[in-house]
Amino acid sequence: MQFERMAIPEVVLITPKRFGDSRGYFMETFKASLFQSEIGDFTFVQDNRSFSAETGTVRGLHFQLNPRAQGKLVSCTAGALLDVAVDIRSGSPTYGQAVSAELTAENGRQLWVPPGFAHGFCTLAPDTVISYKVTDYYSPDHDRGLLWNDPALGIIWPVEEGKAVLSDKDQKQPRLAELQAHFTYTA
């Protein structure tokens, strides 16, 4: 299993080792001891999965407030998606910056998105399934968002703005400039 720190080093791209044979392949997709030694002492308490039928479906950018902030270990188990993490930790040298990675069922890659980051994705294929582990339970009262196409984020999404498939909620999320200082950066 390879761990590669992204341009924002707290976000980590993980590539599990794939054992192929005449039947197909086997992968260990999560190992607590390795995750703890490579990334840190996080405990996952909930697994999520969402299915998006259309290419160009955007879900996000979402996060939960403290004390229910979530770390997310994200993978794509069918189709393909561009996964995006935005640093929203006040005082961070990379505040408001985004990193992204292409996760596909084929490449088996995962993205670790720590607490203090907004998370979202855009599907690159129809019938795409995202599967992810989170480090705290869903809490609607702590659920917040950031506008996916806020120009201040500089995210180059693989879909034209007028053609993205979005929830009503995600069409009305606040811009970065409107975001309160929910998270604080610690070096």
Ligand X SMILES: Cc1cn([C@H]2C[C@H](O)[C@@H](COP(=O)(O)OP(=O)(O)O[C@H]3O[C@H](C)C(=O)[C@H](O)[C@H]3O)O2)c(=O)[nH]c1=O
Closest distance to ligand X from the beta carbon of 22 (Å)? 36
74 by DSSP, 3-state: which?
strand
Q: Which two tokens stand for residue 124?
A: 């690159």
Q: Clarify whether 138 is annotated catalytic.
A: no
Q: How far is the CB of 125 from ligand X (least distance, A)?
A: 16
Cβ atoms of 129 and 79 closer than 8 Å = yes
Closest CA relative to residue 6, chosen from 125, 127, 138, 103? 103
Instruction: Specify whether the CB–CB gap between 181 and 156 falls below 8 A.
Output: no
Residue 32 CB, nearest distance to ligand X (Å)? 21
Task: Name the active-site residue from 25, 62, 137, 142.
Answer: 62
Binding stretches for ligand X (CB under 6 A): 48, 50, 59-60, 62, 72, 119-121, 138, 167
Shortest spacing between CB 152 and ligand X, in angstroms:
20
In the annotation, is 95 catalytic? no
Active-site entry in 132, 137, 138, 142? 132
Q: Between vectors from CA 175 to CA 171 and to CA 181, what angle results, nearest 5°?
A: 130
Which residue number places its CB atom closest to ligand X? 138
Q: Computed from CA positions of residues 141, 71, 78, 149, in that sequence, does the dihedral angle turn out positive or negative?
A: positive
- Burial, 1: exposed, middle or buried (Cβ in 10 Å; 0-12, 13-18, 19+)? middle
Q: How far is CA 73 from CA 140, 172, 180, in A?
A: 20, 26, 25
Q: Which is nearer to ligand X, 60 or 108 (CB)?
A: 60
Residues with catalytic function: 62, 132
